[in-house]
Amino acid sequence: MTGKLKQSLLIAVFALATVAAALEPREAEVDESVELEAHAAIARAVNFLVNQQAHNGSWSDDPAVTALVIAAIVQCAEEPPEKALQHGIGFIADQARDNGSIAGAGQTGNAAALSTVAGAIALMVVDAEAHGAVIESALKKVSTPDYAGNMQVLFWLTEAAQVAKMLDQENRLAMPDYVGKLIKRCQHHNPSSDLHGRIFCESTDGGDPDGLSGTRTAYGIACLFRAGGDRRDPEVAAAVISLNRSFFTLDEYPHARSKALYTFYHAYATAHNLLDDQYRKLTERPPKWRKELIEVLMAQQLGNGQWRHRKGSDERDPNWATAHALLTLRLALD
């Protein structure tokens, strides 16, 4: 297979897996001038990330970061750099453990789970033939019952299932059958509380101490839709109402408390991208969010093309933040 053909196929796989097909053409939300500026911002960010690749093929010497950067480059680069992508998945494959996990030194729990799922996606999309054994072992690992312990891992697991389906590998990784069960366990039901409808599993005292419930709720909505849910389902309706409260608007999202601003933007865009088609299915007008999100991201991009959230633990790493920002822009422009 030629490099050009292979690049076309991998871009198509990611596009089909991550963007819901619209039932009809979307009403134009983004001015042509804003769209042109957004594409220029994407080009700067892709160039930044390509230049950040380490000699060992990694980004930030971390398989999860490397996998998400690869996803961002594949979806956003006009001509994905095949040599850099191959070098990157080589690093990911080298992090494979005997138990099927793909994780860096010291990574355990949900961090290792996210790394394994994201790594498997990158390997499947870029070169499944060369890394078949690692992929087989990783998919077997993530297929175990109740593998995902939080909404971010569950979201990327549903993404992996969609990629596997597009590559005719559904027999190796089907859509998790516990999506509804996990969300039902994690969703908060108390109409008198500001937390009503939000989806997050980590808190032990019923609170939201790290300010990440918006991100987890948005990823939870996406997972419900991917598992066949409907906007009229009680769990979905409560989560959507919660997500659209002023606390979670782009202008008012609590930057100071959040450890994951750009992860939130990505979750927000993913949920609303899927919601758009749910509204159309019910012949309702979807809310407009694309232009606002694009303008927010462009205003936050630094001159060398990167994004960074200095108050976020993971997002102090510009590779992690920039990958999420790029994936978000791709969703907002599609």
Integer Cα distance of 26 and 33 in angstroms: 18
* Residue indicated by tokens 């999202």: 253
Question: What is the three-class DSSP state of 65?
Answer: helix
**Beta partners for residue 102, in sequence order:** 96
Domain spans of the chain, in order of start: 3-20+27-333
Q: Are 262 and 212 in contact (CB under 8 A)?
A: no
CATH (one of 3.40.640.10, 3.30.830.10, 1.50.10.20, 2.30.30.140) for 3-20+27-333: 1.50.10.20
* Measured CA distances, 259 to 140, 211, 223, 247 (Å): 31, 8, 22, 16
Position 108 scores a pLDDT of 87
* Residue indicated by tokens 């608007």: 249
What residue ranges of the chain have pLDDT lower than 70? Answer: 1-28, 202-211, 245-259, 279-286, 312-313
Position 64 scores a pLDDT of 96
Position 294 scores a pLDDT of 94
Position 135 scores a pLDDT of 94
Give the single-character DSSP code of 25.
P
